Amino acid sequence: EAGVTQFPSHSVIEKGQTVTLRCDPISGHDNLYWYRRVMGKEIKFLLHFVKESKQDESGMPNNRFLAERTGGTYSTLKVQPAELEDSGVYFCASSLGGDASNSPLHFGNGTRLTVT
């Protein structure tokens, strides 16, 4: 079974540019999450999809961030325009569904975003 895959693994962009991160969850996983970790800080929740619907986007920092999951398969997270404070590692995770108790998160390896 293929795991959660994220692309690119690294991205270096200048302030003001646009970057799009992609996540392919484990096949059959309805739940898809985006998290971000800024250096040394906690892994912070950004948003949660159930299939193609946004279940919870309370962690999205501001309207420069846009996440989509068309067709309920892969997801993209676009940052436009990027700011210096957006730098960090962006993790995608997926889970089968149902409650947290029977469906632990499976993480991808993350995209390290550096905004200069």
Partner 1 sequence: DQQVKQNSPSLSVQEGRISILNCDYTNSMFDYFLWYKKYPAEGPTFLISISSIKDKNEDGRFTVFLNKSAKHLSLHIVPSQPGDSAVYFCAASVWTGNQFYFGTGTSLTVIP
> Which residues of the shown chain bind partner 1 in the complex (CB under 8 A)?
4, 9, 31, 33, 35, 40-45, 48, 50, 55-56, 91, 93, 95, 99-101, 104-110
Q: Which is nearer to partner 1, 64 or 112 (CB)?
A: 112
Q: How far is CA 116 from the centre of its chain?
A: 21
> Rounded to 5 degrees, what angle do the CA atoms 41, 90, 18 make?
120
Cis omega before residue 25 (within 30°)? no
Q: Which is nearer to partner 1, 75 or 95 (CB)?
A: 95
With the CA atoms of 35, 52, 7 and 114 taken in that order, what torsion angle do they form, in degrees rounded to the nearest 10?
-40
Q: Which is nearer to partner 1, 7 or 17 (CB)?
A: 7
| Residues comprising the chain, all counted | 116
